[in-house]
């Protein structure tokens, strides 16, 4: 080395700094790389992505090559710098100290900090091209890496550190939810909303999505036959729950179209009506929605009657009710009085029935009312007031003002809701 000219030795130092920076930037970019994005690029046929995947599959060997190369170079640079200082200025302690401090500064800035910042900022742009250099380097240095890892693994084994257990890259549902929330402009708003609703299916039950008992369109088998025929001709649904005397005594499910078509072939009688009934399908309250959706897929039933532990009917759920939790309301949903004509009026008010489910109300007028307690607006207000109001009462819940317009001894019937003021999110600096 002493036979080389001074400019060549200085040039060698800068070359070694560049190589040290390459190892540093490669290490950081490889570790900061998005594995899911990398897998997507590899499936698209990218050679660099497939090469990078192969390197990351052997993380211990990859890190060994990078760290061995980086530390060897960082060891050679001070030795070379000291040799130049001694050759040029002689044995001067001050000069040696200045040279040592200068080379330490160059290594820290240009071979460590700056490359690692760039690698963390642009991991994909750095890691993919670097893999084409690191891959053959790993093959060449395999014996050296094996020898070094032999001692490293012995130390880890003595400390009872399991290196294989930390390689699981699976994401939890909450982590996936965070990824979807942070997708921003990369995913359409509607798609993002559906995915978020899909995660929520794991946490809700049929009680949250069912049509409550009071809103079920049902047919009383003991009613006058003229009234039954009129209800069949004017009903909104194609299938009706048929009960006898009391809605808790369900006889079955009636297919309205098949029943009306039977009128053209024969005279419809009560016994004929009974023969057209299909057996009801009961599910207990608290059944997870996702599990119920699987039941619908496995069976031919399209209506499930929700009953409590005493066998009393609590509501009715269909696959459409569950799907609406994912994609929103269908245009064919049954009209619900005032609520069916639109959202907020010009005064920022809306009038709804007290029996309206909270999840449906949240979707319809974009509120964020709590759904972990009562399932209907009536239940939420009664829980807050702890009594059934006698007259007009105004109450504020979760930042939303409600005014009870009509109630009786049993429940709140009609409620006026006032739109809460929109708060603009603060810009983060």
- DSSP helix/strand/coil, 23: helix
The pLDDT assigned to 200 comes to 75
Token pair in block for residue 327: 């994609």
Encode pLDDT of 364-392 as tens digits. Answer: 888 888 888 888 888 898 888 888 887 77
| Residue whose entry in the numeric block shows the structure tokens 């040290």 | 20
Q: Roughly how many angstroms between the first and final C-alpha of the chain, as a whole number?
A: 53
- DSSP helix/strand/coil, 374: coil
> Where are the alpha helices (H) located in 182-239, listed in sequence order?
189-200, 206-209, 225-234
CB atoms within 10 A of CB 191: 11
Q: What is the pTM of this model?
A: 0.56
Residue 340 has pLDDT above 60, yes or no: no
Q: Which run of H or of E encompasses 242?
A: strand 239-244
Residue 166 has pLDDT above 60, yes or no: no
Edge-to-edge order in the sheet of strand 412-418: 349-353, 412-418, 400-407, 393-397
Residue 235 — φ and ψ, nearest 5°? -70, 155
Q: What is the mean pLDDT of residues 67-81?
A: 89
Residue 305 has pLDDT above 90, yes or no: yes
Tell me the residue ranges of DSSP E strands in 291-399.
304-307, 313-317, 349-353, 393-397
Q: How does residue 427 score in pLDDT terms, banded at 50, 70 and 90?
A: very low
Average pLDDT across the chain, whole number = 83
Give percent of the chain with pLDDT exceeding 70.
89
Compute the residue count for the chain: 429
The strand pairing partners of 406, in sequence order, are 414
CA distances from 243 to 123, 161, 252 (A): 66, 66, 7
Q: How does residue 86 score in pLDDT terms, banded at 50, 70 and 90?
A: confident
The pLDDT assigned to 338 comes to 44
Name the segment(s) of the chain with CATH classification 3.10.580.10. Answer: 209-322
**CA–CA distance, 237 with 303 (Å, rounded to integer):** 12
Contact 384, 358 (CB under 8 A): no
The pLDDT assigned to 359 comes to 82
The pLDDT assigned to 180 comes to 77
* CA-based nearest residue to 167, from 37, 52, 56: 56
Residue 168 has pLDDT above 70, yes or no: no
Name the segment(s) of the chain with CATH classification 3.30.465.10. Answer: 337-418
Contact 273, 259 (CB under 8 A): yes
What CATH number has the domain spanning 337-418?
3.30.465.10
Q: How does residue 185 score in pLDDT terms, banded at 50, 70 and 90?
A: low
User: Pick the residue with more confidence: 338 or 300?
Assistant: 300
| Residue whose entry in the numeric block shows the structure tokens 């569950």 | 322
Architecture of domain 209-322: Roll (3.10)
Q: How does residue 165 score in pLDDT terms, banded at 50, 70 and 90?
A: low
* CA-based nearest residue to 325, from 336, 333, 314: 333
User: Pick the residue with more confidence: 147 or 336?
Assistant: 147
The pLDDT assigned to 163 comes to 64
Residue 342 has pLDDT above 60, yes or no: no
CA distances from 166 to 58, 60, 62, 418 (A): 13, 12, 16, 52
**CA–CA distance, 90 with 85 (Å, rounded to integer):** 7
Contact 380, 397 (CB under 8 A): yes
DSSP-derived secondary structure for 319-331: HHHHHHHHH---T
The pLDDT assigned to 28 comes to 92
CB atoms within 10 A of CB 46: 15
The pLDDT assigned to 426 comes to 45
């Amino acid at each position: 080395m002493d036979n080389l000219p001074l400019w060549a030795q200085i040039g060698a130092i800068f070359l070694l700094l560049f190589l040290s920076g390459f190892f540093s930037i490669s290490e950081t970019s490889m570790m900061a790389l998005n594995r899911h994005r990398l897998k997507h690029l590899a499936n698209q046929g990218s050679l660099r992505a497939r090469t990078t995947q192969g390197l990351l599959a052997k993380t211990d060997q990859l890190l060994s090559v990078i760290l061995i190369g980086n530390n060897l170079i960082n060891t050679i640079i001070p030795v070379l710098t000291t040799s130049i200082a001694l050759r040029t200025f002689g044995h001067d302690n001050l000069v040696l100290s200045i040279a040592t401090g200068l080379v330490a500064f160059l290594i820290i800035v240009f071979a460590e900090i700056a490359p690692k910042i760039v690698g963390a900022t642009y991991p994909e742009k750095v890691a993919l091209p670097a893999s084409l250099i690191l891959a053959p380097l790993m093959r060449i240095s395999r014996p050296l890496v094996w020898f070094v890892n032999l001692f490293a693994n012995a130390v880890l084994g003595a400390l009872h550190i399991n290196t294989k257990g930390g390689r699981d890259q699976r994401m939890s549902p909450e982590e996936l939810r965070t990824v979807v929330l942070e997708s921003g402009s990369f995913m359409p708003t509607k798609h993002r909303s559906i995915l978020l609703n899909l995660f929520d299916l794991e946490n809700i039950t049929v009680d949250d999505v069912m049509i409550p008992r009071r809103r079920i369109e049902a047919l009383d088998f003991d009613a006058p036959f003229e009234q039954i025929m009129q209800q069949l001709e004017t009903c909104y649904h194609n299938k009706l729950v048929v009960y006898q005397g009391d809605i808790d005594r369900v006889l079955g499910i009636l297919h309205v179209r098949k029943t009306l078509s039977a009128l053209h072939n024969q005279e419809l009688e009560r016994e004929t009506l009974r023969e057209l009934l299909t057996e009801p399908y009961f599910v207990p309250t608290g059944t997870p929605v996702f599990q119920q959706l699987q039941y619908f897929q496995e069976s031919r039933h399209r209506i499930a009657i929700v009953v409590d532990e005493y066998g009393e009917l609590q509501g009715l759920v269909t696959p459409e009710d569950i799907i609406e939790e994912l994609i929103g309301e269908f245009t064919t949903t049954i009209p619900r009085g005032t609520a069916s004509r639109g959202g907020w009026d010009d005064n920022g008010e809306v009038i709804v029935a007290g029996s309206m489910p909270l999840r449906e109300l949240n979707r319809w007028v974009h509120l964020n009312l709590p759904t972990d307690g009562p399932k209907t607006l009536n239940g939420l207000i009664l829980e807050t007031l702890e009594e059934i109001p006698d007259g007009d009462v105004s109450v504020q819940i979760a930042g939303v003002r409600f005014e009870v317009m009509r109630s009786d001894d049993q429940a709140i019937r009609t409620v006026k809701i006032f739109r809460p003021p929109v708060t603009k999110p603060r810009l983060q600096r």
